[in-house]
Amino acid sequence: TNQFLYFRDIRNDPRPQNSDVFSAPYDTMFFEKFIKHLQTPQTEKCLEEAFRQFDAHCKLPLSTQQFFKDQRYILAFVEFFGNNKVWQHTMTKCFASLFNNRSIALFDFIDSQVKDEVYSFIFGQLLDHPLLSTVIENLWRDATLIDQNDIIYLQKFEQFLSKGILEPKLQLYIGNICNCMQILSQTSFQQQSKILQLINRYVYKILSLNLEEQQMVKTLNLCYQQLLQDPKSSSYMANEFLETLVQILNKYSFCVQIPCLKLIAQIIQHYPQSLIIFEPFIDQIIECIEYLKVAVDSDIQDGLTEVIKNFEDGPMRGKFVIDVYE
């Protein structure tokens, strides 16, 4: 620990040292010292202190640009990560801190080779360390990052989806992944068709998972937004998909039922022929709406009002006048 703090062994070299050198808000030489520590054998206590300070520096906005300005830093980080499983969770949390909302704009100035290393690391470790999905979500909030580097990163994202989207360990982070897709579809104009294909290919599989409510809401919202952006997609007419929506209605509480009903209403509005598939389930849909009508929560009432308006504008108008308003 002393060797890391003072960059020398004070027992053998007890020169005076400014006591606040490492307690300053930002140390421009910190990462240089840090990677040298990773590249040479260290005691556990020394590494604990190194990662404690690494975590503190990662939370500072300037650190994003500082850490990624030199490819040696990310390469040393990745190498140590791969060789030391016991430290991986700690390193993942620190790495995620580099991409908080205050510092994300600085990543735009990073060299493309370093960016490639960063994305290779994220997608390579995402299955085992799903917390990295928050990094992707934060990164892709910036449209310039997507449109400047979209081809490489979209390919890596698709490779990840094809391998791990249905992995149980990722279910708590499905919402983050859906947010990534939604952000991409709304902000990347150059690759929008490619992104919509990704959504069509994978997001409907997610709906069949036994997700917790918050994750299911995010997934349904993504489907809803994608339908508005790509109303010609045939994915919404698949029997299996429509039946899955009805199952979700019966399985979850009101916070999931509202976005699910909104999606069903939009599908029927865009594709009147879908009524043939929904016909056996119309009574269940009406029953769900009747149940939600008695709720006192204002958010539920507002959501239900929007749902009923959507149903009114489509082929189910007559059914609603008879069964709901009466």
Question: Average model confidence (pLDDT) for the chain?
Answer: 75
Mean pLDDT (whole number) for 289-304: 77
pLDDT surpassing 60 at residue 16? no
The domain boundary, picked from 106, 128, 150, lies at: 128
Give the model's pLDDT for residue 271: 78
Give the model's pLDDT for residue 90: 93
Give the model's pLDDT for residue 152: 63
Q: Is residue 135 part of a domain?
A: no
Give the model's pLDDT for residue 113: 82
**Tokens describing residue 242:** 């429509």
Which of 212, 241, 68, 52 is closest to 139 using CA atoms? 68
Percent of the chain with pLDDT over 90: 7
**Buried/exposed 262-291: b ≥16 CB within 10 Å, e otherwise:** bbbbbbbbbbeebeebbeebeeebbebbee
Whether residue 22 is found in the same domain as residue 124: yes
Give the model's pLDDT for residue 172: 67
* Residue 306 to residue 175: CA distance in whole angstroms: 23
Give 45-64 as a DSSP string. HHHHHHHHHHHHHHTSHHHH
- Model's pTM, two decimal places? 0.63
Q: Is residue 85 part of a domain?
A: yes
| Residue pLDDT, tens place only, 187-219 | 665 666 777 777 777 777 778 777 888 888 888
Give 133-192 as a DSSP string. HHHHHHHTT-HHHHHHHHHHHHHHHHHHHHHHTT-GGGGGGHHHHHHHHHHHHHH-STTH
More confident of the two residues 159 and 260 = 260
Single-letter amino acid, residue 57 = H
Asked if 49 contacts 5 with a C-beta cutoff of 8 angstroms, the reply is yes
Angle at 305 between CA 304 and CA 310, to 5 degrees: 95
**Tokens describing residue 168:** 């149980």
Whether residue 27 is found in the same domain as residue 81: yes
Residue whose entry in the numeric block shows the structure tokens 């640009």: 65
Asked if 262 contacts 227 with a C-beta cutoff of 8 angstroms, the reply is no
Whether residue 98 is found in the same domain as residue 199: no
Domain that holds residue 203: 140-230
Give the model's pLDDT for residue 284: 81
Q: Give the pLDDT band (50/70/90) at residue 88.
A: very high
Give the model's pLDDT for residue 316: 64
Give the model's pLDDT for residue 189: 58
Whether residue 199 is found in the same domain as residue 286: no
Q: Is residue 247 part of a domain?
A: yes
CA distances from 174 to 43, 60, 155, 187, 210 (A): 38, 28, 19, 20, 11
| Residue pLDDT, tens place only, 109-155 | 777 788 888 888 988 888 788 888 888 777 766 545 555 555 666 77
Which of 52, 7, 14, 12 is closest to 32 using CA atoms? 7
Q: Is residue 134 part of a domain?
A: no
CA–chain centroid gap for 224, Å, is: 17
Specify the number of domains making up the chain: 3
Residue 100 CB neighbour total at 10 angstroms: 16
Whether residue 66 is found in the same domain as residue 174: no
| Residue pLDDT, tens place only, 43-87 | 888 888 888 888 888 887 777 778 888 899 999 999 999 999 999
Give the model's pLDDT for residue 23: 43
Q: Is residue 105 part of a domain?
A: yes
